[in-house]
Amino acid sequence: MRSRSAAFPLFAALSWGVMFPVLASALGRVDALNLTTARYVLATAVLVALLLAREGVAALGTARRGTEVLLLGALGFAGFNTLTNLALGMAAPQQIALFAATVPVVTQLVRWARDGVRPRPALLGLSLVALVGVGLVITRGRLDGLGEFGLGGLLMVGAVLGWAFYTHGASRFPDWSPLRYTTLTSVAGALALFAVSAVADLTGLQHAPAAADLVEVSPQLAYAVLIAAVVAGLAWNTGVRRLGPADAALFMNLVPVTTFAVQLLRGYRPGAVELVGAGLTVAALVAANLVTRTRKAPAAPAVVAVTDHPAVIEPVAVVAR
């Protein structure tokens, strides 16, 4: 069961790893904010249609949790994607993707701070091992390579914090399907993006794209909307529902490795240190999966210290593909 559930965050992580170089190639024609807004307005339209078809009009209600939904959508969809696109204009995709590997650690710390749920030592340790492996991939074993991130790195710190809070937030809506949570937070994120982008256009901070620009980047938008936003977003929240935030977040370690693989296909040639780092990251993720799979359940319903567990026992299935 856990192996099938792991396919959801695995697909999402691989999709987002491809997304970094795809979006980077579109930033030459469309500003970061406008690109993000166009992506999520289109993705939200698709998600709303799916939600209406599957759960009906009533599912569009927030059950008096509109403020929380708006905040999570602004942090997860608007914050993460806007800051990521801005960072992609300042550094190479494989450098920016490194920060995605910090999501597992940050998510566990967010849960600890907000819910008092201690990270399992094994998972926390393996997350750090995977992060070291990703660091080797990106820096090629040179510590001075970390200094090249600059402002782009600072933007990604904010992006990662926003996504960690969004991932954690999914576990706080156990009575909502992944489709409903994804759709309503996407609506909130799209509204926030549209407002910020409109202000930026009106004040001259960026320029509204011409129709020709949008046509030029339509292949990138198609991938970013249908695969990286709609399908991957649903897959991610389904994985969080089934595995729990901490376990699902481990798959974010594969995002920068996937970006690295895409760059290889585009002609980049890695060194031995980078290959070692990629292997270390994959090994750590496999080990983390084995740790969660072999964890023993309590023998009796006695009160025990909770360290980490999926937020919902019976996951809700969703048509994500």
The string of pLDDT tens digits covering residues 54-74 is 999 999 999 999 999 999 999
- Report pLDDT digits (tens) over 141-181: 666 555 555 677 788 888 989 988 898 888 889 899 999 99
Average of per-residue pLDDT across 214-229: 93
pLDDT at 308: 38
Answer for the pair 40, 81: CB distance below 8 angstroms, yes or no: yes
Answer for the pair 168, 114: CB distance below 8 angstroms, yes or no: yes
Lowest mean pLDDT among 33-42, 101-110, 133-142: 133-142
pLDDT band at 53 (very low <50, low <70, confident <90, very high): very high
pTM of the model: 0.75
Q: Please give the C-alpha separations between residue 295 and each of 2, 14, 89, 102, 105, in angstroms, as whole numbers.
A: 12, 26, 43, 24, 20
* Closest among 9, 34, 12 to 23, alpha carbons compared: 34
